């Protein structure tokens, strides 16, 4: 008599695949604008890592325009996630990071994306309006 747990090897395989996919999903790093400091020339961002509530873990920061042009690139020095911080301000290099590129000035009317990259990654897409206010937008 067959075990009633699985009707076929196919359903067991599907269940195993679903379990593996769910276990492999890691929370993304969350990047947000700080509302009272979302203005040019230096908007402020907050970075949260659901896996590490004490401090996010990343080793690279990049800001790109929507055409793919690199405006700002930071890299941890020495490389690794031991120096990542929760608060970032555009154009200011946090301790333990070195500038690889930029920063170039953000422009009114510009469309940009900030990426934090490490074991996990996260991003924030944002626009700058004509008055220099920075607003989060969908990717």
Position 105 pLDDT exceeds 60: yes
Question: What class is the 27-137 domain?
Answer: mainly beta
- pTM, two decimals, is 0.79
Summarize the confidence of residues 67-96 as an average pLDDT. Answer: 93
Predicted local distance difference test score (pLDDT) of residue 82 = 83
Alpha carbon 20 to chain centroid distance?
24
CB 77 within 8 A of CB 96: yes
Starting at the edge strand found earlier in the chain, the sheet holding 44-48 runs 30-33, 44-48, 87-89
Position 93 pLDDT exceeds 80: yes
Position 119 pLDDT exceeds 90: no
Question: Using one digit for the tens of pLDDT, what is the confidence trace for 25-65?
Answer: 556 899 999 999 999 999 999 999 999 989 999 999 999 99
CB atoms within 10 A of CB 34: 14
Sorted by where each begins, the domain ranges of the chain are 27-137
Q: What string of DSSP letters covers 71-135?
A: EEEEEESSSSSTT--SEEETT-PPTTEEEEE-PPPP-TT-EEEEEEESSSEEEEEEEE-TTSBEE
Q: Which of 103, 110, 28 is nearest to 61 (CA)?
A: 103
């Amino acid at each position: 008599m067959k075990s009633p747990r699985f009707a076929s090897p196919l359903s067991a395989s599907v269940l195993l695949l679903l379990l593996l996919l769910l276990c492999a999903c890691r929370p993304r790093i969350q990047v947000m604008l700080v509302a009272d400091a979302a203005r040019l020339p230096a908007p402020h961002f907050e970075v949260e890592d659901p896996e590490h509530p004490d401090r996010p873990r990343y080793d690279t920061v990049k800001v790109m325009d929507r055409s793919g042009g690199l405006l700002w690139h930071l890299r941890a020095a020495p490389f690794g996630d031991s120096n990542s911080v929760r608060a970032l301000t555009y154009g200011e290099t946090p301790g333990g990071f070195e500038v690889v590129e930029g920063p170039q000035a953000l422009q009114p009317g510009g469309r940009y994306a900030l990426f934090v990259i490490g074991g996990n990654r996260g991003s924030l897409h944002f626009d700058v309006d004509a008055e220099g206010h920075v607003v989060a937008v969908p990717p």
